[in-house]
Every structure is written in C-alpha cells, then in structure tokens.
Amino acid sequence: MSSHPNSFWRWSKRLPQVAPEHRLDLGAGCTPLVRSRRIGPAEGLSNLFFKIETANPTASYKDRFATVAMSHMLAEGQSRCVTTSSGNAGAAIAAHCAAAGITCEVALIVTAPSGKVSQMLVYGAELYRVADFGRDPDITRETFEQLKRRGEAPDAAMQITAYCYSPVGMEGVKTISYELAEQMQTPAEHVFTPVCGGGLALAVARGFADLVEDGALTPGPKIECVQPEGNNTVAGPLREGMDQATAIDRCTSEISGLQCPSLLDGDALVAATQRTGGTGHLVSDEAVYAMQSRLAREEGIFSEPAGAVAAAGAVAARRSGLIRADARVVCLVTGSGFKDPPSVDRMLSGADVPTVTLDALTTEGPPS
C-alpha cells in the first residue's frame, strides 16, 4: 500500500475496513478535474468542468471499485473472482486480480469492443461471451443469477459493479465525490453522470450524501443521470416524476458500456437522485458520437462514447434551459477512447495520412 498523501487509501476511514497488508493500490483515484476551454464557452456554460476518470490505471473509473473489491477478497482469503462486463469493469478487475494473484473469470456482454477484450486478455483473465447478454433482459437476468451461483463457492466471490450485487466494492466509487469536494474551489451545483445499471451515479450521490451528513459540504450537488435513448430505464422515469426505474424489453443503443435493460440499482438511484433535486436526461447515440469527437477536437480529451454521454447530457440540458449559464457543472468522463477502436474508426471515417517525399515536402510543403 502506498503511504503517499494522495493514495486512494487516504479515504480508508470512509471505506470498508481492510487491513493495510491486504490493500491493493495500483494508483486509482486522484484523477484531474479540468475546466472546459471551448465546449463550455461555445454552449453558454461558463463553469463547465470535466472529471477525467480515464487517468485511472486501466483508464476507467472502475479501478476505484476493483481496488476495494479485490483488497477485500485478499483479506477474505478468496482466490477466484467471477464477474461480467462490457469491458471496463472486466479490465479493472482483471488487472487487480493479476496484482493480487486471484483467478479472474469474465462473462462478456456480446457487444464488448475489441480494445476492452484485448485489455482483459493481457491481464490474464479467462473470457467468454454470452449470446444476447446485455440486450435481452431475461437472458441478462439469468446470466447474473448463474454467475452469482458460481461466485458462492467458498474460495470465490462474484464482483459486479452494482450495489445490488457487490456493495463492498461499490463503496470505492464514492471516492469520486470526495475528490470533487476537494477539487472544486466553489462546490459543484450539478454533477452529470452516465447511467447503465445505475451503480456509478448512485455511488456518487451517496458519496456526496456522506459529506453533507458529516457537515463537510452544504448542500450537495444535484445528480443528473444521462442515458442513451435506447436504454431508457432511469432517465425517462426521473423526468416524468416516477418513483421507480422501468425495465425495457430490449436495449437498442449501440453505446458500449451503457447497454443494460435490467434495473439493477435503478430504483435506488431514482430515489437518491430525487433527494438531490436532480433529474434524468436522454441523448441520442448520434449526439454521443458527436460529443466524443468534440471532446477530442475541442478539449483534447480522448473518451470512449460512454465517457462522452455526461457531457452530451449537460449540453442538451443547457440548450433546453434546464441549467443556468453560470451553473457550476461537472461531467464525468468515465473511460478512454483507446478502449473502443470501432468508435475511433467511426470518428476518423474518411481521414487519410498521405506519404510525401522529402523533395515534395521541401518544395511544396505538407499536403493540405
């Protein structure tokens, strides 16, 4: 364990108790918070910030979960981890399992991008895909139950980034809120977060609730839940004032990492979001891809599509007049563009890198 004051474990008093000798630390947390230089001003948001979770060791916020979950498994003497993933959770868990000497088995959502699959394989994880997992709610639910049974062996544990399955590991995700409270000179008023099964946004809401309860922050920000239109389980119900999430028959969004027709933490997230005064926001897949490109070309932030969803939601909210022009807004950028090569190919469609001779470069200059 690192003793550095910026170590993830500086929050140990707020995290599940793990003896120091069992604490893994690959460098999760302490991610940058940067002010928007171009998108914010262009969209009339003078105080727009991005929390760059791509700076975590496996390039997504899921390292916060894996740090606590795998440390807890070490403390419990468990040697086999069973999980499911569209990529980011699997990569984070596989890396921390490698460091801990724990066997890692990952059931992949069928649409998991090649970059994320390769990352998991590099860390030595055992992978397999489950047909229609992540699209069909019945298959998704039964897959979770099968994995849960596999994780009930004495030497094993199932680790899934949802409170309903792995509440210990999810406590690590709350550190996003603790860091934001430290990093913002004036507290954030809105925190926009992408929503899949709801665990991330719920952890962020609960993290801020901890700070408010302790008197360290008054008040907490509004949690703003953003989903692709094709996976509307939480955002729509929130906008309609419903008190529960709504399962859908089938996810139609192509945004990897946000394809979950099941509720998981949805009901708890609806309640937590409403307590903050926040709401839900729906964005099209095309708006997400457009924001992925804008983040790269206007802010220098290389995000996968799912990591651009929060920013797409914030821009849509400002255009609709739902947030003030001077509101202090934070968008979570949750995963790196390197993880989703097909989305990068889409962004670069038609781009070409010509080869020129030195003579041509000297006489004519670079090609336009």
Closest residue by Cα to residue 315 from 17, 41, 18: 41
Contact 84, 100 (CB under 8 A): no
pLDDT of residue 328: 98
What would the pLDDT profile of 82-111 be if each residue is shown by its tens digit? 998 878 999 999 999 999 999 999 998 888
Which segments in the chain show pLDDT lower than 50?
1-3
CB of 64 within 8 A of CB of 172?
Answer: yes
Q: What size, in residues, is the chain? A: 368
Q: What is the β-pairing status of strands 103-109 and 126-130?
A: parallel
Residue ranges and CATH numbers for the domains of the chain are 8-59+170-347 (3.40.50.1100), 62-167 (3.40.50.1100)
pTM: predicted TM-score of the whole model, two decimal places: 0.93
Q: What is the pLDDT of residues 2-27, one digit of tens each?
A: 445 678 999 999 999 999 999 999 99
Upper half-sphere CA count for residue 53 (Cβ side, 13 Å): 28
With vertex at residue 154, the alpha carbon angle to CA 150 and CA 155, rounded to the nearest 5 degrees, is 85
Partner residues linked to 129 by β-bridges: 108
* End-to-end Cα, the chain, rounded Å: 52
pLDDT of residue 4: 57
Sign of CA dihedral 90, 93, 97, 98: positive
What pLDDT score does 1 carry?
A: 38
How is residue 88 written in tokens?
């980011």
